[in-house]
Structure 1
Amino acid sequence: MYPAKPNEPATGVPVGGPGTANQWSTGLFDCFDDCGLCCMTWCCPCITFGRVAEIVDRGASSCGTSGALYSMLLYFTGCHWIYSCTYRAKMRAEFNLPESPCCDCCVHFCCEPCALCQQYRELKARGFDPDLGWHLNMERRAGAGAGNVYPPAPQQMGR
Structure 2
Amino acid sequence: MANHEEQKPLMSQDEEEKDIYKGEKEPETKNAEFDDHFNESTMAPLDQPEDVYVAQPEVPQRQPWRTGLFSCMGSSDEFVGSDLEVCVLGLFAPCVLYGSTMERLYPGQSTFSSHCMAYSSLYFMGHFLFNGNFLAPCFSFPSRSALRHSHNLEGCGESLVNATGCCSSLVQDEERLERCESVLDFAAHFCCHQCALCQEGREIRRRTVHPAHRPRYYMTTAPPAQQVMSSSQ
Letter in 2 for 1:139: P
Hey, what's the Cα distance between the residues in 1 that align with 2:187 and 2:153?
16
- The one of 64, 68, 72 equivalent to 2:113 is 64
Query: What percent of counterpart residues are identical?
Result: 30
Give every structure 1 segment of 4 or more consecutive aligned residues whose post-TM-superposition deviation is greater than 3 Å: none
Q: Please state whether the residue corresponding to 1:105 is helix, strand or coil.
A: helix
Q: Please state whether the residue corresponding to 2:107 is helix, strand or coil.
A: coil
Determine if contact 2:99/2:112 at 8 Å carries over to the other structure.
Answer: yes
Letter in 2 for 1:21: R
Q: In the alignment, which residue of structure 2 is the partner of 1:49?
A: 98
Equivalent residue runs for 1:19-98 within 5 Å = 19-33=60-74, 34-59=83-108, 61-77=110-126, 78-98=134-154
Q: Please state whether the residue corresponding to 1:31 is helix, strand or coil.
A: coil
1:29-82 deviation digits (Å, cap 9, x = unpaired): 111122332122111100000000111123275212211100111111331101
Determine if contact 1:25/1:122 at 8 Å carries over to the other structure.
Answer: yes
Q: In the alignment, which residue of structure 1 is the partner of 2:25?
A: none
- The one of 207, 226, 232 equivalent to 1:126 is 207
- Give the structure with higher Rg (CA): 2
Hey, what's the Cα distance between the residues in 2 that align with 1:115 and 1:128?
20
Determine if contact 2:91/2:194 at 8 Å carries over to the other structure.
Answer: yes
Hey, what's the Cα distance between the residues in 2 that align with 1:99 and 1:61?
29
Question: How far is the alpha carbon of 1:112 from its aligned partner?
Answer: 1.1
Hey, what's the Cα distance between the residues in 2 that align with 1:89 and 1:137?
25
Q: Please state whether the residue corresponding to 2:120 is helix, strand or coil.
A: helix
Q: In the alignment, which residue of structure 2 is the partner of 1:157?
A: none
Q: Please state whether the residue corresponding to 2:97 is helix, strand or coil.
A: helix
Call closer, same or farther: CA 1:20–1:61 in 2, change over 3 Å: farther
Please give the TM-score of this superposition, normalised by the length of structure 1.
0.67
Q: In the alignment, which residue of structure 2 is the partner of 1:139?
A: 215
1:104-123 deviation digits (Å, cap 9, x = unpaired): 00000011111111111111
Call closer, same or farther: CA 1:99–1:62 in 2, change over 3 Å: same
Hey, what's the Cα distance between the residues in 1 that align with 2:191 and 2:116?
20
Please give the TM-score of this superposition, normalised by the length of structure 2.
0.47
Hey, what's the Cα distance between the residues in 2 that align with 1:79 and 1:99?
23
Question: How far is the alpha carbon of 1:18 from its aligned partner?
Answer: 3.5
Determine if contact 2:71/2:199 at 8 Å carries over to the other structure.
Answer: yes
CA RMSD of aligned residues (A): 2.2
Between 1:87-96 and 1:102-111, the stretch displaced more is 102-111
Hey, what's the Cα distance between the residues in 2 that align with 1:84 and 1:56?
13
Determine if contact 1:70/1:83 at 8 Å carries over to the other structure.
Answer: yes
Q: Please state whether the residue corresponding to 2:124 is helix, strand or coil.
A: helix
